[in-house]
Chains A and B, each alone.
Chain A
Amino acid sequence: MIIALIDIALLTFMGATAIAILRLRSLFAVVMLSGIYSLLAASMFVTLDAVDVAFTEAAVGAGISTVLMIAVLALTGERERTPSHTPLVPLIVVGLTGAALIYATFDMPAFGDANAPANLHVAPRYLNDSFGEVGLPNVVTSVLASYRGYDTLGEVTVIFTAAVAVMLLLGGRKGDDAGIKNEPEADAEANEGADADSDPKSGGGGTA
């Protein structure tokens, strides 16, 4: 019962945080709240027995994501403008999708059901045999590194691709000009002034 109460409290907090994120206009507050949201999610994962996931979410979701977003806010400004159009169509679409999904949950197995289909397929085999086959007490590690090792290889490929793409997007200008730290602001202003100049590289060259 205690677990259920913690569960409900954390979920309600998550909902409240998400609504606050949606409604706030100060992007700094939004990013901070998204860090809190990730931390709440991590606590939630602990109550749901997913300790490895909780570690990762706390370190990566609440830590690295927040740092990245604050770094971007420093470059782009932290105020969101009020939109000019009314968001009626998105509201209808989201409402309909949500209603359909809620309707679908009535076919889902009850929370914590040990006989749910998801818990009867390969999971018992992993739990019973992985210690003999891999020799690690932590089943999540066994599955991640051994049974589903190719998954992890694919994950590493994705991260490598993303890292290469980020470096191509942001790192390529180092050769053009040395003063890269303050360049984005000046660059953007130069572009606004020149207006027709859509190529950022030539814009940066103009300021330098």
Chain B
Amino acid sequence: MLQAILDHYNYWIAILLMMIGLYTVVARGNLVKKLVGLNIFQTSVFLLYITMGKVTGGTAPILDDRFTVYSNPLPHVLILTAIVVGVATTALGLALVVRIRESYGTIEEDELDLLDGET
């Protein structure tokens, strides 16, 4: 039983974080808060991938004669790319938020809906 929990704990926390991020994006009205939620979601996916590449007793995939077991390098490469792309999209989102604030004077979703209805 304990072994089953230990085997899946990483996955469960990754999913918990994913759902917290998703909920923040859907249920919170502030646009900056939404972007933070998106970041939480994103990092949880990174965690999921890196978890799948871990090998028990392995070491970081940097070749050396003293080690024989290495963790899987492929998820690391994919996530390395994803982190940098993630920051690029965050920057774009934040630029949009600044622009919305300039045009409407607010970044709260409710108020934006009202303003949009008026114009």
Task: For A2, list chain B residues within 8 Å (CB).
Answer: none
Nearest-neighbour CB distance to chain B for A203, whole angstroms, equals 8
> Which B residues fall within an 8 A CB radius of A?
6-13, 15-24, 26-30, 32-33, 35-37, 39-40, 43, 46-47, 50-64, 69-81, 83-92, 94-99, 101-105, 107-108, 110, 118-119
Per DSSP, are chain A's interface residues mostly helix, strand or loop, or mixed? helix
Nearest-neighbour CB distance to chain B for A51, whole angstroms, equals 5
Per DSSP, are chain B's interface residues mostly helix, strand or loop, or mixed? helix
Nearest-neighbour CB distance to chain B for A136, whole angstroms, equals 8
| Number of chain A residues whose Cβ lies closer than 8 Å to a Cβ of chain B | 106
Contact indicator A84/B110 (Cβ below 8 Å):
yes
Interface of chain A residues 89 through 115 with chain B (CB within 8 A): 90-91, 93-95, 97-98, 101-102, 105-106, 108-114
> Which A residues fall within an 8 A CB radius of B?
4, 7-8, 11-12, 14-15, 18-19, 21-22, 27, 30-31, 34, 37-38, 41, 44-45, 48-53, 56-57, 60-61, 64-65, 68-69, 71-73, 75-77, 80-81, 83-85, 87, 90-91, 93-95, 97-98, 101-102, 105-106, 108-114, 116, 118-119, 121-123, 126-127, 130-131, 137-140, 143-144, 148, 151-152, 155, 158-159, 161-163, 165-166, 169-170, 183-184, 187-189, 191-192, 195-196, 198, 200, 203-204
